[in-house]
Amino acid sequence: MFQECLAVGNEDTPYEVKHTMAYPKSKAKAEKIVLEANGTKVRNGERLRTCSLRPTGIYGEGHELIKDFYKLAVKRGGLIIGGVPDSTEHGRVYVGNVAWMHALAARALREHPETVGGEAFFCYDDSPYKSYEDFNMLFLSTFKFRRVRMPMLLLWFLAMLNDMLRWILTPFCNFAPLLNSYTLAVAITSFTVSTDKALRHFQYRPLYNWDQCRERTQRWVNT
C-alpha cells in the first residue's frame, strides 16, 4: 500500500515507483508518449514539439474533491474524519497558476522548441506544504467543522474493506468511495518539490500569490 516519498525533489530527482492503479499508470504512460513524440514529423513536413507539465496537486475554483469533502462533513453533522500522520506533506498548486504555466509553455514551444521540447516540468507556486487533510481544512474550517482523527490501523482496514466492496459491487453498480488503498497511500506519502526549471526555461512566475490563491478558492468554497 505504501509508496516512496519525494521530499523537496525536482525534475532530476530519481523517483522509481511501480504503479499498479489505473490512474497513475495512465498518467505515467501518457507522459512517456507525449515526450517521445517530440521532434516527430507531421504531415506538412514540420516537427511536432511537446513537453510535459506535472501539477503536484491542483486546487482552486471548481475543485470537486473539496466539494466532496464538504458534502461528507455536512452528512456527518460537521465531522471531518482523518488520520494522516502530522509529518506528511504534499505540494499543492493553484489552478490559475497551472493554466498560466500551460500558456507560457505553449508559447515557449513555438519560440524556443530546442530548449523546452522533450522536457518535463513540475507546476509550482508558493502554496504551503501541508498534508491533504490540513490543506483542505484551511478552507473548510470556516464552516466550523470538527476534525476527528482515526487510528491508522482502522483507516487501513476501512480502505481494504472499500476495495473489497468495490470489487464485489462492480458488476452491479459504480461504487467509488473516497477512501481506498490507493487514496490512503497517496494521502500518507509525502510528495513535495522545489524547482525553478520552468522559470529558467520559459520565465514562469506564479500569476497569483498564496494570499490571492487562498482568497479566490475560499470565495468559491463559501458559495
Nearest to 130 by CA among 209, 205, 191: 191
Neighbours of 99 (CB within 10 A): 13
Question: From start to end of 111-209, where are the E strands?
Answer: 120-123, 146-149, 191-193
Q: What dihedral do alpha carbons 24, 87, 156, 26 form, nearest 10°?
A: 0
Between 152-169 and 181-188, two packed helices, what is the crossing angle to 10 degrees?
A: 150
**Helices H, strands E: what count in the chain?**
9, 8
Would you please indicate which residues are annotated as catalytic (active-site) residues? 23
